[in-house]
Amino acid sequence: MSGQAEIGDIGGPAQPLLAVRGLYRHFPIRGGLFNRTTAVVQAVDGIDFDVHKGETLGIVGESGCGKSTTARLLVRLLDPDRGELVYDGLSVGTQDGLSLREMRRHVQMVFQDSFASLNPRLSIADSIAFGPRVHGVGDGEAMARARDLLARVGLAPDTFGPRYPHELSGGQRQRVNIARALALRPRLVILDEAVSALDKSVEAQVLNLLQDLKAEFGLTYVFISHDLNVVRYISDRVLVMYLGRIVEIGPVDRIYEAPRHPYTRALLSAMPSMDPDRRTSEAPISGDPPNPINPPPGCRFHTRCPFASEICQTRVPELAASPLAGDHLAACHMADPSSGHPQAGTAV
């Protein structure tokens, strides 16, 4: 490919495609006369996880849990305060690692708002061809690639290529955004609430498309959503966030069938039942998620947790593996027999 030297796979299938190590991002809130920092939003507060090659990792959580900040950190639209991203064994943004510009060819993002993420003054084809052009792909080649991708996301290139974003429906625009994300031939695509704004019937079409493209291009997805049903449908592994921290991570079936963290359980039982004869009769937890500006100390969920004890208010629980499944981790004192929680060891 002209102007683009491909970096193939480096570490083999066992090496995580992306390793996230101790990532922190706090936002100061400034105010007052001298623009002093009056408060700090602890949007992402120390997260570690791996994204395996070829998988779809779902990230769920409620508003303020930091999932969107995480998405922006992963593509480095935001710089972390602390922590490291390791892309296929190469540390991102360091001297002997991978430069940001290089990393951006491999990691792309699809945003929630299909309209705001397309430049209204550029034609669809130009929007898709922009990335390749930036990376030195010639004009003709970039346009050919745009046409090819349009076809692959199900939009006839001759009909849609010369169009402008406002002429398309929401579903069609999201297809364009997906094509745009794929134009640099990335290996990892971060989908930040990418289907959340779509109508159900269109959402299903786009989910099918995402599955097809994943198989065709051998992609790895990080799929961020608040919709537990969709995450269950598309993910291989699921990561649950609460107030800037990971509370649980594991294979999708274990998370949905045997959740270990009380928050995950609450989140799952808060889903509407879809069965008119078995409607939900009791809310699993009460109250709103606390504000990430002043998160509670210790386990951040303790203010809403029905099992909270003293230890939960003071000590931060570590992510620990389940004795039943080594790849199923939860951050709860009850999962750790030595934590001093009265119910420790009862719920795993």
Partner 1 sequence: MTPLVRIEDLRVRFRTAERTVHAVNGVDLSLMPGEVVGLLGESGSGKSVTLKALLRLLPEARTTMSGRMAVAGQDVMALGGSALRAYRGSVVSMIFQEPMLAFDPVFTIGEQIAEAVRRHENADRTAARARALEMLDRVRIPSAKRRLDAYPHEMSGGMRQRAMIALALACRPKLLLADEPTTALDATVQIQILLLLRELQKEFGMGVIFVTHDIGVAVEVSDRLAVMYAGRIVERGSARDLIRAAAHPYPRGLLASTVHGAMRGRRLDAIPGAPPDLAKVPDGCAFAPRCRFADAECVSRRPDIVRIDAGHEAECRRLDAVAASAEG
Partner 2 sequence: MTEIPGTIAGATIEGPAGPARGYWSNVLRRLRRDRVAVVCIVILALILLAAIFAPLVAPGDPFRTSMLRRLRPIGTPGFPLGTDELGRDMLTRLVFGGRLSLFTGIVPVINAFVIGTFLGVFAGFSGGRTNMAIMRTIDVFYAFPSVLLAIAISGALGAGIFNSIVSLTIVFVPPIARVAESVTTQVRNLDFVDAARASGAGAFTIIRVHILGNVLGPVFVYATGLVSVSMILASGLSFLGLGTKPPEAEWGLMLNTLRTAIYAQPVVAALPGAMIFTVSICFNLFSDGLRSAMDVKL
List interacting residues with partner 1 (CB under 8 A): 62-63, 169, 171-172, 199-205, 207-208, 211, 226, 228-230, 232-234, 252-253, 256, 266-267, 270-277, 279-289, 291
Among positions 148-187, residues that touch partner 2 (CB under 8 A) are 148, 151, 153-157, 159-160, 162-164, 166-168, 172, 177, 180-181, 183-184
The length of the chain in residues reads: 348
Identify any residues that bridge with 189 across adjacent strands, giving them in sequence order. Answer: 108, 221
Residue 77 binds to partner 2 (criterion: CB under 8 A)? yes
Q: How many CB atoms lie within 10 A of CB 299?
A: 29
Given partner 1, partner 2, none, residue 283, with its beta carbon under 5 to 8 Å by kind, binds: partner 1
Q: What is the CA radius of gyration of the chain?
A: 21
Using CB distances below 5 to 8 A depending on partner kind, what does residue 320 bind out of partner 2, partner 1, none? Answer: none
- Find the part of the chain contacting partner 2 (CB under 8 A) among 44-52, 68-76, 280-288, 331-339: 68-76
C-alpha 101: how far from chain center? 21
Beta bridge partners of 222: 57, 190
Residue 163 contact partner, candidates partner 1, partner 2, none, CB within 5 to 8 A by sort of partner = partner 2
**Adjacency order of strands within the sheet including 82-87:** 36-51, 18-31, 82-87, 90-91
Taking the C-alpha atoms of residue 245 and residue 332, their distance in angstroms, rounded to an integer, is 12
Distance CA 220, CA 87 (A): 12
Tokens, residue 254: 């274990």
Q: Looking at beta carbons only, is 123 or 211 nearer to partner 1?
A: 211
Nearer to partner 2, 99 or 343 (CB): 99
Least separation, in Å, of the C-beta of 43 and partner 1? 16
CB of 72 to partner 2, least distance (A): 8
Dump strand ranges (E) for the chain. 18-31, 36-51, 56-60, 82-87, 90-91, 107-110, 188-192, 220-224, 237-242, 245-251, 320-321, 329-330
Give, as ranges, the residues between 184 and 243 that touch partner 2 (CB under 8 A).
184, 205, 208-209, 212
Strand partners, 302: none
Q: Rounded CA gap, 63 and 69, in Å?
A: 11
Give Cα separations from 284 to 272, 296, 329 (angstroms).
Answer: 12, 20, 22
Q: Which of 192/336 has CB closer to partner 2? A: 192
Smallest distance from partner 1 to CB 256, Å: 8
Instruction: For the CB of residue 50, give the shortest distance to partner 2 in the complex, in Å.
Output: 21
Q: What is the dihedral of CA 48, 52, 55, 61, to 10 degrees?
A: 0
CA-CA distance, 304 to 283, in Å (whole number)? 12
Least distance to partner 1 from the beta carbon of 17, Å? Answer: 21
CB of 274 to partner 1, least distance (A): 5
Of 66 and 157, nearer to partner 2 (C-beta) is: 157
By CB under 8 A, the residues from 89 to 128 that bind partner 2 are 100-101, 104-105, 107-109, 111, 113, 115-123, 127
Chain contacts with partner 2 (rule: CB under 8 A): 72, 75-77, 100-101, 104-105, 107-109, 111, 113, 115-123, 127, 130-131, 134-135, 144, 147-148, 151, 153-157, 159-160, 162-164, 166-168, 172, 177, 180-181, 183-184, 205, 208-209, 212
